[in-house]
Amino acid sequence: MSLSDIKTRIEAAAARHGRDPADITLIAVSKVQPLDRVEAALEAGHRIFGENRVQEAQGKWPGFRERFDGIELHLIGPLQTNKARAAMDLFDVIHTVDRVKLAHTIARIAEETGHCPDIFVQVNTGDESQKAGCSIDEADALVAECRALGLPLKGLMCIPPVDEAPSLHFALLAKIAGRNGLTGLSMGMSGDFEEAIAQGATHVRVGSAIFGARDYG
């Protein structure tokens, strides 16, 4: 697989479901990947990347930003309150706002700095204790809180449980977004981004299908 294969598959999935492929953003998830693979994607013209750890991203992206214009970085991993400032410095979009305290911290820093990344609220649609995200029941209230704080809230994000049909989770996330008047849907990974597109995904987060398997060794 490669970047262009994934783009072709996104376009085909969009066409099958009567959607404009321009409404679907491909976030190339570069966490843990060797730098030469990430650089190859940059050389090929890709500019939108996802990372799940602030510290790892800090070591990698300032250097790439010096060499490549127009990089857009998305934080897709859990965010600790004490890393919010660093995350807001580095990332253009944060997909993982999942609690009121974090929303308040981001709002306070945004007021101080005059700058705030776009925000997605992460919903733990599978109700998994080991996973980040607010519960389904808390989602409407957290969305309302983000709005009351004036955060640039763009949509919702989820990571379905590995052992369940992802489409049900994507449909649920779309339903919660719809009733809250949100259009952004960050959902779909290497194994299920076409199903996510069928359910309305606006941001798919694809790592291993572009870069190869991650080597955590």
Ligand X SMILES: *Cc1c(COP(=O)(O)O)cnc(C)c1O
- The answer to whether the CB of 119 falls within 8 A of the CB of 154 is yes
Nearer to ligand X, 160 or 200 (CB): 160
Tell me 207's DSSP state. Answer: -
Nearest of 87, 98, 114, 198 to residue 153 by alpha carbon: 98
Q: In this chain, which stretch among 37-45, 137-145, 170-178, 206-214 interacts with ligand X, using CB under 6 A?
A: 206-214
CA 140, 141, 144, 146 torsion: positive or negative? negative
Work out whether 166 is an interface residue with ligand X (CB under 6 A).
Answer: no
Nearer to ligand X, 77 or 107 (CB): 77
DSSP helix/strand/coil, 74: strand
Work out whether 156 is an interface residue with ligand X (CB under 6 A).
Answer: no
Instruction: Tell me the number of residues near ligand X by CB under 6 A.
Output: 14
Work out whether 28 is an interface residue with ligand X (CB under 6 A).
Answer: no
Work out whether 77 is an interface residue with ligand X (CB under 6 A).
Answer: yes
Structure tokens at 126: 């599978």
Of 28, 107, 189, 198, the residue at the interface with ligand X (CB under 6 A) is: 189
- The answer to whether the CB of 190 falls within 8 A of the CB of 26 is no
Applying CB under 6 A, the residues found at the interface with ligand X are: 29, 31, 52, 76-77, 159, 189-191, 205-209
